[in-house]
Amino acid sequence: MPIKGNLETFHLSSLLQMLNYDRKTGKLIIKCESNEVQIFFHEGDIIFASETQKTNRLGELLKNNGIISQQVLEECLALSRKKRHGLGKTLVQEGYISLERLNAFLLKQAENTVYNVFLWETGEFEYNDTELNLKGVIGNKLNTMNILLEASRRIDEVEIFKKQIPSEKAVLKIAGTMDNSGEIKLNADEWRFLSMIDGRSTVRQVFDKSGFDDFAAYRVLNSLISSGRVEISQSMTSSGLTREALKHLGEIDSRQFREALDNLGLKRSSILRVALSAIFREAIDEEQIMAAIEKEAEKIKKSKEKNALDKLREKNRVPFMKEIIELLWQSVNG
């Protein structure tokens, strides 16, 4: 019998304790907006976990621990795609890591994934009993009570970090007033995090690109903000974005708009293209454009569509499209 619920009424700690106590074997799926975590249990113990927004986490974990280089990571990722193998299998086959050591890192990856879910404020979950293929992973497991204790500690610490980070939707930028009088002393994690900041990406986008688990990312960002290396850039209000969108869209015609959509790589039948076109047609005044944005945002529900909008927001190079993409993104994720 499936177990369903949401994290607002059934705490993750209680759910993990119940599955552990009942010695369950199966899969727990937890979803929140465009993210999904899968946690696998064998006789009540967690043996593996994965997260959709952290697709290259294993490679980053191995690289950050000095097991492989960036060059090896890129080569093996390309080889994995070509052979349609997982990155771990490719690394073992190419002799860069032993199977035993890989399993240890996979368990560490699973541990960080589980910790991340404890930081979610909302989410829907479903557990189902199922047979698992345990080849190569039997004997590797996480201690549920240790997970709960460490998760509690991390939650308390992250609450302190969040006092300097008002929202994961805020944009990060390199501080323009950094003290240049002496040598900049940063550790490897801080340098890596700093390299991800481009003045356009949000806190959440930088976290996902960094390869760090959320707790580590919050800790590094907190350090960079405290030292004056990084600033939180407050986004323009919805009203301000709407005024700018109307101004810019009023300066172009429908042909220019269609060409812009083509340049963004949006197919004629794509949901995003249809949504942006509808918003453009309704760009008469603030009330009409906001009504159109809210209406089109309701149609962007699937993870694939939301991820495509995130990428479009991050990589868009068409100036007059910037505001309506941002407004649509805010409405979808609001």
Q: What is the DSSP string of 192-224?
A: HHHHT--SSSBHHHHHHHH---HHHHHHHHHHH
Give 10's Cβ-side CA count (13 Å radius).
14
End-to-end CA distance of the chain: 34
Residues 9, 281: Cα–Cα separation, whole Å: 42
pLDDT, residue 177, reads 54
List the chain pLDDT tens, one digit each, 334 residues.
Answer: 789 999 988 999 999 999 999 999 999 999 987 788 999 998 999 988 888 766 556 777 788 777 888 889 889 888 988 888 888 889 998 899 888 888 888 888 888 889 989 988 888 999 999 987 766 554 578 888 899 999 999 999 998 888 888 778 788 888 865 555 455 688 888 888 888 888 878 888 888 877 788 898 999 999 998 888 888 876 556 777 888 888 888 888 888 888 888 888 888 888 888 999 989 888 888 888 889 999 998 888 777 888 888 878 777 667 778 888 888 888 887 6
> Hey, what are 23's tokens?
């010695």
pLDDT, residue 165, reads 82
Give 85's Cβ-side CA count (13 Å radius).
15
pLDDT, residue 86, reads 81
Domain ranges across the chain:
3-154, 162-233, 238-333
pLDDT, residue 138, reads 47
| Residue 146 CA, distance from chain mean position | 25
- 3-class secondary structure, 166: coil
Residues 6, 90: Cα–Cα separation, whole Å: 37
Cβ neighbors of 198 (< 8 A, separation 6 or more) are: none
Element (H, E) at 32: strand 26-32
pLDDT, residue 218, reads 92
- 3-class secondary structure, 250: coil
CATH number of 162-233: 1.10.10
Sign, CA torsion 302/322/211/149: negative
pLDDT, residue 235, reads 59
Residue with the two structure tokens 């890192």: 105
pLDDT, residue 114, reads 92
Between the alpha carbon of residue 317 and those of residues 78, 138, 219, 321, the distances in Å are 27, 48, 32, 8
Q: Which among 314, 315, 320, 313 is positioned nearest to 245, based on CA atoms?
A: 320
pLDDT, residue 57, reads 67
Q: What does residue 164 show for φ and ψ, rounded to 5 degrees? A: -95, -10
Residue 228 and residue 173 in contact, taking contact as beta carbons nearer than 8 Å:
no
> Hey, what are 150's tokens?
């460490």
pLDDT, residue 112, reads 87
Pick left, alpha or beta for residue 123 (phi over 0 → left; psi -120 to 50 → alpha; otherwise beta): left
Cβ neighbors of 223 (< 8 A, separation 6 or more) are: 190
Residues 45, 21: Cα–Cα separation, whole Å: 9
Q: What does residue 231 show for φ and ψ, rounded to 5 degrees? A: -125, 150
- 3-class secondary structure, 51: strand
Q: Tell me 102's DSSP state.
A: H
